């Protein structure tokens, strides 16, 4: 393959040169006397990204799935009831993990392309007079279908009903890319990964934990005889305790921590609201392109389309995998494939992280080349042109200021 590859999957995202440089460091002793001077402010700044003042952010060497597990292991006991919904590959897998860890899951099966079913959640919580439900799962951004759920609405229900269940959010492909407000929404555990909005390599599970959650964990330890589901590696309390002075219960992935420092700086420098606006703008460009191609997104309700990934339905009779394969093999463009129930039916364009207009145009151009090869009927250039026209018509203030 000659020339740069184009990464248009919904994570890993493109690696900013600044972050690459920040990680190009000699290895270091994580027990160095001055390590706290680096770690403590980093963890503090991560709280700004999660928008929490009362909670904590913990960073584990691991992948986002580890964050899912951390949420469950630290707070629940075997047999505890959990409310979840399956409307895509990742929301489904989290529910499956609950089953595997022998939690008692109330799973609401939805059509893939729907969002977290707010009304169904309300009904389930209303019915739960005994407060048997200990935790409610929300996948804020279902990466497989490009659908964003309304976390605030779930919080409102819980508040409305006075239901004490913990609120767990899978924010892997949303946090640091689209609006997320941990304190405002009363999220108890929020799971992010380094390879999405944080613009980093995979390897860190970044987990927000509320004060309420930590209190519950502290109380739990008093009744250790109970059959909890064992926390081990993902132990929030041990991590938080070691973090206080800037250290860790076991060897941290220091190289990635150096990258995380840089990417956190970059997010705060740009300003979270500007980050969110940029993601909306770039996503909207992609959506205009999709419409110009005569295709439609997998998301059923237009109000739920995701600003970090667009899953695009190919016409009946076409195989989305033909597009994906041609894009990868011929043009070096990595598009996201359809997973599980939508395999072969959708291809996905990720648009999150370190991204700007021309990078989106490159991905769209690559998709058009591949769509030609796969025999899809559309006017070459129409998608790119629609995105250009949108970008031209809707210039943000900071772009205009860049004279």
CA-atom Rg of the chain in angstroms: 21
Give least dist CB 227 to its own copies, A.
8
Q: What is the DSSP string of 63-81?
A: -HHHHHHHHHHHH-BTT-E
Among residues 368, 371, 350, the alpha carbon closest in space to that of 359 is found at 350
Which of residues 187 and 200 has its CB atom nearest to its own copies in the complex?
A: 200
Which of residues 124 and 214 has its CB atom nearest to its own copies in the complex?
A: 214
Give least dist CB 255 to its own copies, A.
4
- 190 near 179, Cβ under 8 Å? no
Which of residues 84 and 383 has its CB atom nearest to its own copies in the complex?
A: 383
Which of residues 117 and 332 has its CB atom nearest to its own copies in the complex?
A: 332
Which of residues 146 and 186 has its CB atom nearest to its own copies in the complex?
A: 146
- 197 near 175, Cβ under 8 Å? yes
Q: What is the DSSP string of 314-383?
A: PPTT--HHHHHHHHHHHH-EEEEEP-GGGTTTEEEEE--SS--HHHHHHHHHHHHHHHHHTT----TTHH
Give least dist CB 398 to its own copies, A.
9
Give least dist CB 252 to its own copies, A.
7
Phi then psi dihedrals of residue 50, to 5 deg: -80, -10
Which of residues 77 and 212 has its CB atom nearest to its own copies in the complex?
A: 77
Give least dist CB 37 to its own copies, A.
13
Give least dist CB 325 to its own copies, A.
6
H or E stretch covering 107: strand 104-109
Among residues 198, 241, 210, the alpha carbon closest in space to that of 63 is found at 198
């Amino acid at each position: 393959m000659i020339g740069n590859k184009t990464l248009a999957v919904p994570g890993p995202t493109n690696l900013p040169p600044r972050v690459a440089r920040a990680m190009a460091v000699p290895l270091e002793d994580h027990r160095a006397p001055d390590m706290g001077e680096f770690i403590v402010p980093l963890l503090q700044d991560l709280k700004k990204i999660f928008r929490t003042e009362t909670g904590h952010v913990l960073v584990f060497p691991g992948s986002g799935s580890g964050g899912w597990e951390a949420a469950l292991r630290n707070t629940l006991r075997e047999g505890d009831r959990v409310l979840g919904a399956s409307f895509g590959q990742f929301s489904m897998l989290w529910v499956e993990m609950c089953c595997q860890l022998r939690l008692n899951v109330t799973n609401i099966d939805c059509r893939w392309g729907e969002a977290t079913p707010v009304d169904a959640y309300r009904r389930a919580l209303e019915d739960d007079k005994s407060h048997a439900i200990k935790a409610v799962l929300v996948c804020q951004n279902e990466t497989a279908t490009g659908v964003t759920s309304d976390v605030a609405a779930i919080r409102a229900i819980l508040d409305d009903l006075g239901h004490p269940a913990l609120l767990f959010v899978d924010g892997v492909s949303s946090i640091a890319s689209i609006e997320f407000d941990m304190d405002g929404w009363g999220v108890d555990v929020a799971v992010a990964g380094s390879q999405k909005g944080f613009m980093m390599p995979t390897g860190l599970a970044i987990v927000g934990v509320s004060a309420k959650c930590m209190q519950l964990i502290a109380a739990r330890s008093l009744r250790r005889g109970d059959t909890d589901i064992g926390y081990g590696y993902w132990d929030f309390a041990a991590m938080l305790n070691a973090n206080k002075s800037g250290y860790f219960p076991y060897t941290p992935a220091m190289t990635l921590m150096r990258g995380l420092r840089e990417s956190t700086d970059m997010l705060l420098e740009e300003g979270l609201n500007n980050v969110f606006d940029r993601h909306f703008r770039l996503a909207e460009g992609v959506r205009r392109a999709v419409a110009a191609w005569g295709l439609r997104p997998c998301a059923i309700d237009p109000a739920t389309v995701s600003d970090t990934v667009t899953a695009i339905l190919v016409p009946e009779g076409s195989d989305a995998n033909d597009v994906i394969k041609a894009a990868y093999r011929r043009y070096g463009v990595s598009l996201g494939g359809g997973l599980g129930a939508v395999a072969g039916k959708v291809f996905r364009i990720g648009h999150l992280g370190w991204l700007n207009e021309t990078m989106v145009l490159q991905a769209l151009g690559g998709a058009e080349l591949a769509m030609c090869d796969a025999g899809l009927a559309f006017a070459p250039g129409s998608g790119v042109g629609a995105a250009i026209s949108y970008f031209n018509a809707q210039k943000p203030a900071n772009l205009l200021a860049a004279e």
